[in-house]
Amino acid sequence: MSGEIHMPAALVPGRECYFARYCKKLSETTWAIVDVSLEKYFPHPSINFRRRPSGCFIQFMPQEGFSKITWVEHVEADYRDLNSTFKDLIKSSFAFGATRWISAMVRQFEYSEILKAKYWPPEDAVKVIGEGGRRSMLKLGDRMIRTFCSEINGSKRNQWFRLPGEPFDDTEDVRLAIREHAIEAGKPLATTLVFAASQWFPITPRLLFDFLRDAESRTDWDVLARGLCVQELSYIVKGKDSANRVSLMQVTDELDTYVINYIQESYTDITGSYVVYAPIDEPAVTALLEGGDPDMVGILPSGFSILPQEIPKDDGPHSGVASILTASFNIVDYGSNKSHVPPQSLAVIKKILRETFKAIKSFVFNEDSDDD
């Protein structure tokens, strides 16, 4: 088998691996799945990563009716070319370690369980969502966050290049990728610009996560929402933490006139946090809430990934003293193509990132965002 492990940041290269997998039932209640790299025997382009025997034991607990998962990661990795912002996190083995595998399993389990569960709308929801609409929203949110994570990472298939010009603020550089997307089903592909930057902030991941996901604080950091009103119309909680949810948000002006809708998914656990959103128009919202096919809704995900700077001291997302924030935005640009991005588009990219990071910095340091 072959695989690639990555982090939600354009500045961190993915880890490619060519490996053998062995699965065996050890007893009536225990199974094992073990992977080991084969580059020693079969040449493969990857030279920065080797997977020694790694994998998991699955033990059925008949009295409780649960399964106990024990995961072990044993790897050899080359740390020489790591980006300085992420170096400590990666060298600690936390970034690519066994904890992330377990967390990914928990996320998938919570998603599958909530997809099957009966739904009671939250008391403070403005718009009640029926059973069909709930499933459609969950599936669209899942596709959105998967697409975001696939597009933001440092995989070789994501051809990032450094944005021309001098870096700004405390970001080391800005990465840009030019892609083609089907914005609407059945319509021609459109050229989109995906741009991302990472920055360190002296604030816990949870505080930063709550600031970015909350509808009331969106106007503080969202350039397009300045002077408008953002309201969370309805949401579906995923898991024990009520902040892990799929939300439908609406933006209106001072006359309460509709401007735009967003679907947003927010998720946090010990390994990291995500706030991902995409604009959708009124007809798409109506179809979605009526249980329509979510695959027919075109989305261009933008958002944030938040990683702890170091291994958390406990099992909660409140732990840690600092965060590494990666912001990524996805915009349609009909003036760009795969070989050229006009100067005015580059200026827009820099403006969006500069204003976004400036607003987040104002929140972190409790500064006046109007000050230079």
Average confidence (pLDDT) over 297-310: 92
Whether 44 shows a pLDDT value over 80: the answer reads no
Report in angstroms the alpha-carbon separations of 267 from 148, 271, 275: 13, 11, 7
Q: Which residues contact 116 (CB under 8 A, 6 or more apart)?
A: none
Find the range with the poorest average confidence among 133-142, 157-166, 253-262: 157-166
Would you call 306 helix, strand, or coil by DSSP?
strand
DSSP letter at 340 equals: B
Work out the mean pLDDT of the chain and round it to a whole number. Answer: 87
Let me know: does 47 contact 21? Beta carbons within 8 Å: no
pLDDT band at 169 (very low <50, low <70, confident <90, very high): low
Take residue 208 and report the two structure tokens written for it: 């930063």
Quick: pLDDT tens for 90-112.
888 888 999 999 999 999 999 99
Strand partners, 3: 17
User: By mean pLDDT, which of 12-21, 106-115, 125-134, 309-318 is the weakest?
Assistant: 309-318
Cα 192 to Cα 182: distance, rounded to the nearest angstrom? 10
Most confident of 127-131, 220-224, 364-368: 220-224
Query: Per residue in 349-360, pLDDT tens?
Result: 989 999 999 999
pLDDT higher than threshold 90 for residue 319: no
Strand partners, 198: 326
* Res. 171 pLDDT band, cuts 50 70 90: low
Please tell me which residue, 130 or 35, carries the higher pLDDT value: 35
* Closest residue by Cα to residue 48 from 56, 57, 35, 39: 39
